[in-house]
Structure formats: C-alpha cells, structure tokens
Amino acid sequence: MKTISDYNFKGKKAIIRVDFNVPLDENFQITDTTRIDAAKPSIIKVLEDGGAVILMSHLGRPKGEEAKYSLKHIVKRVSEIIGVAVKFAPDCIGEEAKKMADELAMGEILLLENLRFHDEEKAGDEAFAKQLASYADIYINDAFGTAHRAHASTTIIAKFFNEKCLGYLLAKEIESLNKVLNSTEHPVTAILGGAKVSSKITVIENILDKIDNLIIGGGMTFTFIKAQGGKVGNSLVEDDKLDLALEILAKAKQKNVAVYLPEDAIIADAFGNNANKKLCKIDEIPENWMGLDVGEKTQIAFNEVILKSAIILWNGPMGVFELENFSGGTKAIGNSIAQATKNGSFSLVGGGDSVAAAKKFGLEKKVSYVSTGGGAMLEMLEGKTLPGIAAITNE
C-alpha cells in the first residue's frame, strides 16, 4: 500500500483529493476546521519536498453551480491554516483551470472550485477525471470521508496515473480501523449507539468474529429490549427488526461475544430538553414515556467493561446528547473511553454523532483516534472494500 511517505515530490505537481466539506455559518465563516487541519500534513510534505499542490474537493450538495457552495469562501482560512497563500481556480475544469495548473510554480498551492458543480464528478465520468488528471504528475487521495464513493476525483482519476498514493490522513484511517478489526490484543469492545438497528446490522454481523464485548446504547436499545419482552413505552422501536435483534443476540452468544444492554433509562414524557423526566428500569418504561438516555447503573456497568478493554471502538451516542438534560450517558461513556485510553487502551471514535459528542465534551484529544469519515468508516466496519482505497492499492 503506497503512501505519501514513499515519494519525494521535488519538482512534481501533486493533485490531492481532500475533504474540505466543512460547515459554514451564514457569513460563510468555517465553524469547524478539523478536516482542513487533518489534510495539512500531506500538503506540507509535498511543499517541503519541493513540489506544488493542486487541491480538489466538494462542498455540500449543490444542484449545479450554487454560489453558497463555492470553495472561494474557504480560501482565506485554508491559506491561514496551511501557512501558504492559496490560489483559487474559478472552475475545476476548463481552460482557465488548466492554465493556472500549468503555471503553478513549485512551492505553490492551487485550490480548484467545487467538483460537484459538475454532475460528471458523482457520475464517475472518465473524460472529467482525465481533465483533472492532466494537471499533475502524481495523484494523492487524502479524503477518507469520500473514499466509499466511486466518484471521478476519488476513484476514476487514479487510472490516469502511474504514480498514485494515499495521503497521511487516509493511511492513518486505514491503520486505525485495522487495529480494531485485526487486533491481536484483547478484549476488544465495540460500543454501538444511535437511533436504528437497521443502520448497524451489517456492521454488527461483520465485527462479531472480531470482538469480545458488544455494548449497545441509544435508540437502537429499545428494539432489543422489546424483542425480549420488555416494556418500552413510546421509545423509538423498529418493530420489523425484533426478530433480527434476537438473531443478533443468538449469534453473539454462539460466538462467545458478551452483549451489554442498558439496565436503566432516563425517560421523558415528550421529546424536548424541558420535558418531565425520571429514572426507571430499561424494560419497565410506562405508556406515553420514552427513553432518551441511559441511567447511572448502566453507566457504571459499561464503565467496568470499557476500563478492562485493550481495544475500543465507539460509534453512536448513548442518548439524545444534543439535549443537555439527556447528555449524561453519552458524556459518561466518553469519559470512560478517555480514562481507558489514558491507561493504555487504543480507542477509535467514528461516525458523525460520536465525533460531535467527543468534540462537545472535549474528548477528541483524550482518545487515540477520531475518524473523519462516518459513512466510509461504517462501510469498512461492514467489511466492504472502499473504491477510493482500492483505486490506489489494486495496481
């Protein structure tokens, strides 16, 4: 698997697929620069070797050319973060973009306009990919967040290069996931939360052979509890997945995987921060009440499992952590993972909500690795080969 470390970029132009799909406020100011910070080491490596960098990314889900999704809004901030003035091409293809790429001097950076202003990007169009490829000598994919998409700039473009490699970020993502999926250290604990069992079925089925403990929390809890005959009131349940929940529990038992479900819940009489709330057993939720967080007994039980784990994967919150009154369980789990990490465990946090929770509670520096790609990470956990990675590794 060739990475950016295997190359010297002196006198070469590298086109790097980055993921600069960053959140912007109403004044087009970036509210979270994590993805730009994460791409910086690869960009700096090329420049320090004596090469030039052409950056390409998407932003949002534009329908054609929409000014609010223009990457021009982020040029100034990218320049500040990288420490080099970034030039900007008003389109990603066409004569002007080609001219700017051709005239780019070593040590300079050019950012192309939003790739998704062209439908050919998502369609994986070869002619579009070939135009992008014509700007550079070497292709680097450093966008884990889009590595599961067979788009022109993430996959198709690679076929036009003899020299292609993974950037530091993408290599680190693969390494971190492999640490979880192919661990020689035990016990391995997966903590899966979030709303629905249906979105995590394939993940659970794929990782059962690789883990020792499975902790389940969040909305998906109630499908498992109801399947076992528990009362869940108005809690979120997928009634068509009750049999599946029982199958998962049976498979886990067969494979000697210990499954931990919440013992108690903080319940509310409505979905809202100011709703009336109380504590009850997880399988005795009264009618017209719903579980929105895990209780203290659960937090203590989960904490014990986490602190004994050598490898920890966290994907999905324990409750509706966005509401302050129902954020305690997710925060407690995050703190347990941080403590285990401090004690020497390897912890990987991934998936949009888990990452948001880690940031909200100031935990992102207290875990081993925070993944930058939700969908891509889930697909790797499901055992799928990501097209953006395969395009570089299957030479």
Catalytic residue numbers read 35, 196, 352, 375
Residue positions forming the annotated binding site: 19-21, 35, 58-61, 116, 149, 200, 291, 322, 351-354
The neighbour count for residue 27, using CB atoms within 10 Å, is 6
Which region, left, alpha or beta, applies to residue 94 given φ > 0 means left and ψ of -120 to 50 means alpha?
A: left
Q: Strand 188-192 vs strand 284-285: parallel, antiparallel, or unpaired?
A: unpaired
Q: How is residue 195 annotated by DSSP?
A: S
Phi, psi for residue 246 in degrees, rounded to 5: -65, -35
Binding residue ranges for substrate: 19-21, 35, 58-61, 116, 149
Inter-axis angle of helices 34-49 and 168-181, to 10 degrees?
120
- Cα–Cα nearest to 267, from 225, 319, 196, 223: 319
Q: Read off the DSSP letter of residue 231.
A: E
How wide is the angle at C-alpha 75 spanned by C-alphas 127 and 125, nearest 5°? Answer: 10
Q: How far apart are CA 320 and CA 95, in angstroms?
A: 50
Q: Which segments are annotated as binding site for (2R)-3-phosphoglycerate?
A: 35, 116, 149
Cβ-Cβ contacts under 8 Å for 219 (sequence gap 6 or more): 194, 195, 196, 235, 236
Q: Measure the CA–CA gap between 129 and 155, rounded to whole angstroms.
A: 9
DSSP 275: S
Whether residue 352 contacts residue 374, with contact meaning beta carbons closer than 8 Å, is answered with yes
Pick out the residues of the known binding site for ATP: 200, 291, 322, 351-354
The owner of tokens 């949009």 is 352
Phi, psi of 292 (to 5 degrees): -120, -5
Contact 113, 90 (CB under 8 A): yes
Q: CB–CB of 312/347 below 8 Å?
A: yes
